[in-house]
Homo-oligomer: A and B are copies of this chain.
């Protein structure tokens, strides 16, 4: 069992930290808004006032933060976790950030005698709470093995997909695929509604064939009821599609659907839908069609 620093106790990080504590690790949590540490404390973990405090004595340092600049700031900026970490500590970054930033940070960690894995997740809040996340791990094999008693606690599917940054690249691919599934489904729904088809029955039969997907299963009720309370927020998916198009472009990859999906998702943010669940792409298609979208219930 390890002493684990866990930095970033939001809707994903908090249940993950609690699972680690309950499985016998000693978890030292830190979050900018300290109130978010309550669930961890109730599970027996320690709330720390700063990231530097949290990593003191920790063998493993977990991060679950919103975006690339947040991770950079915590590791190299004012928090300077990489300078306060114990020698040889293993950094596991669960955040979804740019693969090139991950590679740079992993190098910075190595220069300081530390080790780092990128380990972004798929499965959302429900997956974090049920410890059934898919975890896409990039890094050295020895470090992935060393992380086994942490990753195994959190994920239903843990796969080492390649060298540093590879986890982030697979997560980018994941976000591209999920956005594509949501958008074609949204277009299909508008086509079906306009044609006078029984939408609930149509989604049932679509789910029984080659059109079946986890997105269709999980977002069916959102689409039928126009309920877009998050869930996974449009503004985060927009950030992730930014990573997709930048990664594609910097790698010289032409990806026409990715470009269109990024534009459609950014248009959602521009129209004030950034705080809704990403299944609200249906509202975007309705907007394109001049339909006044029903007011979302974000209760």
Choose among B127, B135, B176, B190 the residue that contacts A253 (Cβ–Cβ < 8 A): B190
Which of the residues B133, B157, B205 comes within 8 Å of A135, measured between beta carbons? B205
* A214 with B206: CB separation less than 8 A: no
Rounded to whole Å, the gap between the CB of A180 and the closest CB of chain B is 3
Interface flag for A208 (CB, 8 Å): yes
Min CB distance A282 to B, Å, is 12
* Contacting pair A197 B257 (CB below 8 A): no
Q: Please, which residues of chain B bring their CB within 8 A of the CB of A170?
A: 192, 197, 202, 205-206
With a CB–CB cut-off of 8 A, which chain B residues contact A254? 285, 288-289
Which residues from B are CB-within-8-Å of A156? Answer: 208
Contact of A264 among B190, B218, B256 (CB under 8 A): B256
**CA A173 to CA B173, docked complex, whole Å:** 24
A196 at the interface (CB under 8 A from B): yes
Determine whether the beta carbon of A173 is less than 8 Å from that of B256: no
Residue in B122, B185, B197 whose CB lies within 8 Å of A177:
B185
* Identity of the chain B residue whose Cβ is nearest the Cβ of A244 in the assembled complex: B191
- Chain B residues whose CB sits within 8 angstroms of the CB of A157 once the complex forms: 204-205, 208-209
Q: Which A residues lie at the B interface, using CB under 8 A?
A: 99, 122-124, 127, 133-136, 156-163, 165-166, 169-170, 172-174, 176-181, 183-185, 187-188, 190-192, 194-198, 201-202, 204-206, 208-215, 218, 244, 247-248, 251-258, 260-261, 264, 285, 288-289
